[in-house]
Amino acid sequence: MSASSPDRRRFLALLGAGAALPFASACTAKPAAKGRFPVMKTEAEWRRTLTAEQFYILREEGTERPFTSPLLKEHRKGTFTCAADGTALFASSTKFDSGTGWPSFWKPLPKAVGTSSDRSLGMSRTEVHCSQCGGHLGHVFDDGPAPTGLRYCINGDALKFRPA
Ligand SMILES: [Zn+2]
């Protein structure tokens, strides 16, 4: 199965839906931020400043249900920022409709995100997080459009939109 096959995308979409179920979250939840980041807060502080949905995504590496984010329909010019600390992460010019149900981008802003290896759920994936707070954003796949060929599959709950 090639990385760009429709079957694989459908599988990932189903997987995302499954990961959003309560039982799955209990199995896969783990600390998002490994190591030190410029923005550090205790779990209690994050729980105070984030919504329950944001905390689940950013701090517990959760996955929102596909086709639920209002940002899927955000087509204005502007910047998508980290919901936790406001760091500019993606320019609207790099957003595209992947059909997966999650906001998708083909390139992050310079130095905006970091990546780590994610072997949860029996797959090898590349996890994407905010470079400033370490908050989990989503994953990056190699079946995106030109010019990078990358697909940053990002949870809308981890983002905010700042119009230009
Ligand atoms: Zn952040």
Task: Count CA within 13 A, CB hemisphere, residue 74.
Answer: 26
1 CA → ligand 1 middle, Å: 34
- 101 Cα: distance to centroid of ligand 1 (angstroms): 22
Provide the annotated active-site residues. Answer: 153
What pLDDT is stored for residue 9 in this prediction? 55
User: pTM score > 0.85 for this model?
Assistant: no
Cβ-proximal residues to 21 (8 Å cutoff; 6+ apart), any chain: none
From the CA of 65, how far away is ligand 1's center (Å)?
Answer: 21
In order of their start, the domains of the chain are 6-163 (2.170.150.20)
Residue 6: the pLDDT is 52
Backbone φ and ψ of 83, nearest 5°? -65, -20
Centre of ligand 1 from the C-alpha of residue 33, in Å: 10
Sequence-ordered alpha helix ranges (H) in 6-124? 6-19, 22-28, 43-49, 52-60
Task: Using a CB cutoff of 5 Å, list residues around ligand 1, an ion.
Answer: 82, 84-85, 87, 130, 132-133, 135
Cα–Cα dist 73/96, whole Å: 11
Per-residue pLDDT of the chain (164 residues; tens, 9 = 90+): 444 455 555 555 545 444 444 443 333 444 445 678 999 999 999 999 999 999 999 999 999 999 999 999 999 999 999 999 999 999 999 999 999 999 999 999 999 999 999 998 899 999 999 999 999 999 999 999 999 999 999 999 999 999 99
Look at residue 35 in the predicted model and tell me its pLDDT: 76
> Could you tell me the distance, in angstroms and rounded to a whole number, from the CA of residue 102 to the centre of ligand 1?
18
How is 107-156 classified by DSSP, letter by letter? -PPTT-EEEEEE-GGGS-EEEEEETTT--EEEEEES---TTT--EEEE-G
